[in-house]
Chains A and B, each alone.
Chain A
């Protein structure tokens, strides 16, 4: 197992590549989904407000 992570002595270069790629892409997905859910929440609030007014 350690041999796998050692990657022929180049693990120090290979794993940060995969690590940073995963980190950046997952972070970007996280922030995108967070802003989507926030927009949806704002929309439902606004729609309720406008429904109350129309009554």
Chain B
């Protein structure tokens, strides 16, 4: 059976699939959260330079990774919406931006709280920090544009275009630490020569990654299901009004 992407386009099939997966996603997320927090707070070493503040990494890094991953998937969804008029992908993009904005806010806030004891400052107009702040504005701009027009489809189209244009910011965030002389440290995982992080710290980091990824999936399913049901209600109301 050839994989037909449009098979998932129809909301009924999505409702069935997400209904099936929701308990599993919730379960896995709960397990990763408990295990992740246990390892992060109780069962991982302090850093020889940063001491206990290295524990902020287990929240800061997954949140930052999620903020970029959500933005990229939002851009893909927006492109699918604009090019193939894929109804569910527009809906997915709409549901993703609040979640992405929250993860970006967490990344910025935890980074700032980490920077104060380690760098001696809450904020610096550093390439990495500034481009991540721009990411937050892009998410908020996407949300604002969605509701800026009376006609929802115009909002969806303009928000989609903003999102696609803003994708250029993602490689800038990723490579800012290599291109410019930044206060923010360079990559220690996704780089040549492979990860240079000790397993004792990699385990809590990986668990917290899956915790945030599971949480994002959970939220996305809930929000999309809510939007699909709401649009069904609107349709029933219209039918009732027009008889």
Contacts and interface: CB of A to CB of B under 8 A. Distances in A.
Interface stretch (B4-12, B147-155, B180-188, B234-242): B234-242
B178 to A, nearest CB: 26
A13 B226 CA distance: 37
A28 B102 contact: yes
Contact of A50 (B55, B227, B230, B240): B240
A32 B215 contact: no
A17 B110 contact: yes
A14 B51 CA distance: 11
B110 A32 contact: no
Given A35-B223, A35-B226, A50 B53 contact: no
Interface string B205-243: 000000000010011001101110110110011011000
A38 B223 CA distance: 12
A21 B99 contact: no
B233 A39 contact: yes
B226 A39 contact: yes
Contacts of A35: 223, 226, 230
A39 B223 CA distance: 11
Contacts of B99: 28
A50 B240 CA distance: 7
A8 B52 contact: yes
B222 A33 contact: yes
A42 B230 contact: yes
A49 B105 CA distance: 43
B59 interface: yes
A7 B44 CA distance: 13
A14 B59 CA distance: 10
5 contacts: A13-B53, A35-B223, A46-B237, A47-B236, A50-B240
Kindly list the 9 A-B residue pairs having the minimum CB-CB distance in the complex, ordered from nearest: A39-B229, A36-B226, A46-B236, A8-B52, A7-B52, A17-B110, A32-B222, A42-B233, A39-B230
Given A42-B230, A43-B233, 16 more contacts: A13-B53, A13-B114, A14-B53, A14-B56, A17-B109, A17-B113, A18-B59, A20-B110, A21-B59, A25-B102, A35-B230, A36-B222, A40-B229, A43-B236, A47-B236, A49-B240
